Amino acid sequence: MGFRFPRVVGHRGASADAPENTLAAFRLAAEQGAGAIELDAKLSADGVPVVIHDDTLDRTTNGHGDVRAHAFAVLDRIDAGSWFDRCFAGEKLPTLEATLKLCQALGLELNIEIKPCPGRVVETAEKVVADIRRFWPTNRPAPLLSCFDPDGLAAARAADSALPRGFLVNDLDDAAIKTAQRLDCVALHVRHVALDRTGVAAIKEASLVPVAWTVNQPARAVELVAWGVASIISDRPDAIRKALG
């Protein structure tokens, strides 16, 4: 397993303390000592990669409806911060381009989850890879691409096989490990409650890097790392970093 990724990863930034998937959350994750951030990328109606988790705008912005139904010019006017706290009013829905540039400035590594709107799996993977090629320097560790959909990872591999990939799963079984191997993944990202010592060992025996999400209890993070989990994705990177030393 030659691939290495930072031990503490901010889940959608420092999303316990700032509005998720915003530049403010990414800056705060860096301040809290995260070595990387995890974020979600999907496409606007006109194909611009934007950073948002849900298929709809309603939960984390003052907009409404499907992300894929709006051109970027419309999405760019949306407030993505006020829902969390008034002090974040005016925070924008970031583009992947802006996020890549910010992470370079902050010295953060990246885990980009390919999070396509329905019917846009391949297109989303291809656009994400294209932005990485355009806006991420070749002298920095390449962003890690993850996805729940094997087709998204296959499309990312076809677009640029050199970019590292991780298969995202809710539950760990032999099929998940075999799928990650078939897709030439370097990592297997598992929901932390599905992991135990035996499962972590099985991932490592398959020459995959174990990554756990979303871990917000410091004691659980310490346990997972003791079992051999390489990276902890957390809404609370400050607390996890302190617990792990």
Active-site residue numbers? Answer: 11, 53
> What distances in angstroms separate CA 165 from CA 132, 149, 176, 180, 245, one per listed residue?
13, 12, 14, 9, 27
Retrieve residue 79's tokens. Answer: 């407030």
Decide: 51 and 99 in contact? Cβ < 8 Å.
Answer: yes
Distance between CA atoms of residues 169 and 191, nearest Å:
7
Can you tell me whether residue 168 is helix, strand or coil? strand
Retrieve residue 102's tokens. Answer: 């910010």
Q: Which residue has the tokens 């990724």?
A: 5
Helices (H), the chain: 23-31, 72-75, 96-106, 121-135, 150-159, 174-182, 197-205, 218-227, 237-244
Q: How do 209-213 and 165-169 pair as beta strands?
A: unpaired
What is the maximum alpha-carbon separation in the chain?
A: 49
Q: Which amino acid is at 32?
A: Q
Q: Please name the residues in contact with 208: beta carbons below 8 A apart, sequence gap of 6 or more.
A: 1, 177, 180, 181, 185, 186, 187, 188
